[in-house]
Structure formats: C-alpha cells, structure tokens
A = this chain, B = another copy of it.
Amino acid sequence: VFARAGYQTHLYDRDPAQVEKAVQWLAEDLELDRQAGLLSADQTTALRSRVTVHDELGEALAGAGYVQESGPEQLDLKQSLYAELDRAADPSTILGSSTSALDMTEIAAGLPGARRCIVAHPVNPPHVIPAVEVLPGKQTDPAVVERTCTFLASVGQKPVRMNFYVHGFLLNRMQAALIREAVHLAESGVAEVDAIDAVIRDGIGLRWALMGPFGCANTNADGGVREYFTRYRQAYLNLMNGLGPTPSFDPALIEQLGEATDAMVNNAPRAEIRRWRDKMVTKIRALKKENPGL
C-alpha cells in the first residue's frame, strides 16, 4: 500500500526469513498485477525499488514518518516491541499497529511516547480492501489520530475511526455475528452451505458492497431508518431474540462445513479464487469511484 502510493518503504523483521518471504510475496503479487495489465513493467520496477530491506531496526526507522507494526498478537511481545520502537524512532514518528485484538492503552502503557502509538488495523489484503480501523489508546494524542487518518487516506485507504477499544473492533464483531448465524443455520440443517452463501452473494451482499446496515435500512423505507426500525421493531426483536447460539466449532462440525464448502467451490484452487476475489473487489471499487453515491 505505502510503496504503491509512492512512499519509500522500509521492511524490518527480527527474523530475516520473514522479510525474505514478504519480499518474495511482493514480487509475485506485482508480477500478477503486471500480467493483468494493472501495472506497467516500469511501474512494477519503480514500485519494487521503493521497498528496501533493513537488518537493523534503527536503520529501518531512520526518516520514517509512519510505522506499520505487524508483529505477533501477544500482549507481552507487542509491549516489548513498542518499547523498542519508542526508544528507536524519532519522536515525531507515528507508531501504528496492525493488531486486530489488542488495546493500545495496554500495549503502550507507561511508554514515554505513548501519545504517538495507535492501532491501525487493516483488512487482508490491504491493497485490495481499503478499510482500516483506527483506534487510539487512552494516552494517544488526538492530533496523532488525525495525522494517521490523513496519512492513510492519502495512500488510498479508508480510515475508520473508533472511539474506544472493544474486543474484535467493528469489522470482526459484525463478521462474527454473521458467521455465528450462518454456521447455526448450516448445523441445524435449515439449508445447505451453498444456499446460505447464496442469499449473501446473490442477495443482501450486493448491497453491503455499497452501504452498511444503516445505509441499507435508510433505503428500505420511504421514511428511512426511523420508519424502518419503528415499523419492523417487533419483527426485529423477535428475530434477534431467536437467533442461534454460538456453535461448538467442534472437529465434526468444521469437517462438515469444509466438505460442503469444497463442494460449493467445486474444489477450485484457493489461490485462483483469491485472485478472482481480489480482481473483482478492485473492479467494484473502480465502479464505486466512477459512480460516487453518498
């Protein structure tokens, strides 16, 4: 994302093998983009040259305005990583974390530079899906929130601000709510996995690419959200109170879901499905850009 947007991008990992993998993955991904005509050979070379690998953290941090930390999701590891980053980085550098689970209030607790530490949780793969959940810790300077959002928007991402920490943030909580009910429906035999997916991909999912639940509700009644939730209040209360419980996700259930999903996709190679998915998301984003709605 950063290199595509024209920024010099420094890579560092304590384990050089991880950096090697990242660089190789980047080369493969750029090659696919080149083959698909999304990037010219020159652009690919230029982009690749903006990404440099560094053996020393201090070297990687030199001159950095923004750091995207993506270490393991363990609080003690993140804390020691942030202590190290805070010591080594220029005081003006923003230290953003890709964490999807941890609270920056705890990660940066007691650090002299806690005010410049912030969560910026992207969705995989970030150069395809633009949303980034931006979440300050209690010590984070509001100006750092602003600067992070401005910077992320400048590289083509869609920063989404949260007011305070909640487990799972926004996206994963709503995704978990949907998956919980989807798995419940499959497990109870109401419908097959393919049918459950079909009402999303050929149904409401076509709208969710354009608007979230509130935007959809707004268009579902002439009087908007107020009329919609007032008219269907009791129907929604009944539905919501009757949703399924958290499934077991025991091995037999997971195997059942795995078999049904394999059949649904005709055992197509996942790498191919992913490439199709990413190409299509890119095309949908282009459609939205050409036809701005809201």
**B-binding residues in A (CB < 8 A):** 101, 123-124, 129-131, 133, 158, 160-164, 166-168, 170-183, 185-186, 188-193, 195-215, 217-220, 222, 224-226, 229-230, 233, 235-243, 246-247, 249, 251, 254-255, 257-258, 260-262, 264-266, 268, 270, 273-274, 276-277, 279-281, 283-285, 287-288, 291, 293-294
7 A-B pairs with C-beta separation under 8 A: A131-B199, A170-B195, A174-B196, A229-B249, A264-B294, A277-B293, A279-B291
> What separation, in Å, do the CA atoms of A281 and B294 have in the docked complex?
15
- Of all chain B residues, the one with the shortest Cβ separation from A185 is B170
The 8 Å CB contact of A190, one of B123, B163, B211, B274, is: B163
- The A interface, classified by DSSP as helix, strand, loop or mixed, is helix
Identical copies of this chain, number? 2
Which A-B residue pairs are the 9 nearest by beta carbons? A197-B212, A205-B208, A131-B203, A200-B212, A209-B209, A226-B258, A177-B181, A176-B239, A158-B202
> What separation, in Å, do the CA atoms of A264 and B225 have in the docked complex?
12
A261 and B205 form a contact (CB under 8 A): no
20 further interface pairs, Cβ-Cβ under 8 Å (given A163-B192, A176-B181, A264-B294): A123-B204, A129-B202, A129-B203, A129-B204, A160-B199, A168-B239, A171-B200, A174-B181, A174-B196, A177-B177, A180-B243, A182-B212, A200-B211, A210-B277, A210-B280, A217-B261, A240-B247, A277-B293, A280-B287, A280-B291
A291: B residues at CB distance < 8 A: 276, 279-280, 283
B249 and A265 form a contact (CB under 8 A): no
Tell me how far the C-beta of A43 lies from the nearest C-beta in chain B, rounded to whole angstroms: 23
Take A214-B261, A236-B176, A249-B233 as given contacts and tell me if A205 and B209 are in contact as well, using a CB distance cutoff of 8 Å: yes
> What separation, in Å, do the CA atoms of A287 and B257 have in the docked complex?
28
Tell me how far the C-beta of A279 lies from the nearest C-beta in chain B, rounded to whole angstroms: 7
> What separation, in Å, do the CA atoms of A74 and B218 have in the docked complex?
25
